[in-house]
Amino acid sequence: MESLPEESHGTSESLTSPSAPGRLQRVTDETRGLAEDLTAWVELKARHTQMEIEETVELKLNRAVVGVIVAIVGALAALFLLVTLAIGAGWLLGHPFWGFLVVTAVLFIVAGTVRALQPTLVRIRAERMGIDAPPPREEASST
């Protein structure tokens, strides 16, 4: 039976010597592979972040479009409701003119009341935006 020749992996000097061509080539290849893997990971991470941003923008745009459609349909419905109220009030008062005058007067009263009270309808949380909240607005005295 023939024995297989033992392969020589080199002396212990060649394994520890950084100038050995085989070891240096392996370290170079491993470093290159690591750099390529890191580059690929960074590119994938950037693409993933870009996709998340695109999905968020798409979701917000869809919500905005639905909101605009609802606002337009709601405004038309409110307009028809006001016309119906004006015609109904005019019918009760004997002439359509009086109905439209009453509805217009009520709308002016509502607008004037809102203008006089100036309620805070939208409040954005300053803490969430990372800024200090502005001091509350002082009412101007009309004396």
Read off the pLDDT of residues 48-78 as tens digits, 9 standing for 90 and up. 999 999 999 999 999 999 999 999 999 999 9
Please say whether the dihedral angle defined by the alpha carbons of residues 69, 73, 70 and 125, taken in this order, is positive or negative: positive
Q: Structure pTM?
A: 0.53
State residue 32's pLDDT score. Answer: 92
pLDDT-derived band at 13, boundaries 50, 70, 90: very low
In terms of Cα–Cα distance, which of 97, 127, 123, 128 is closest to 136? 123
Name the DSSP letter for residue 142: -
User: Buried b vs exposed e over 22-50: b needs ≥16 C-beta within 10 Å?
Assistant: eeeeeeeeeeeeeeeeeeeeeeeeeeeee
Q: Between these two residues, 132 and 109, which has the higher pLDDT value?
A: 109
pLDDT of residue 3: 53
How confident is the model at residue 17, as a pLDDT?
Answer: 52
**Mean pLDDT rounded to a whole number for the chain:** 82
Q: What's the rounded mean pLDDT across residues 8-21?
A: 51
Q: Residue 83's Cα: distance from chain center in Å? A: 39
Q: What is the pLDDT of residue 121?
A: 78
- Rg (Cα) of the chain, in Å, rounded? 39
CA angle 124, 127, 128 (to 5 degrees): 70
The pLDDT value given to residue 120: 83
Q: Which residue has the higher pLDDT, 20 or 75?
A: 75
Q: Is 9 left (phi over 0), alpha (psi -120 to 50) or beta?
A: alpha
The larger pLDDT score, comparing residue 137 to residue 81, is at 81
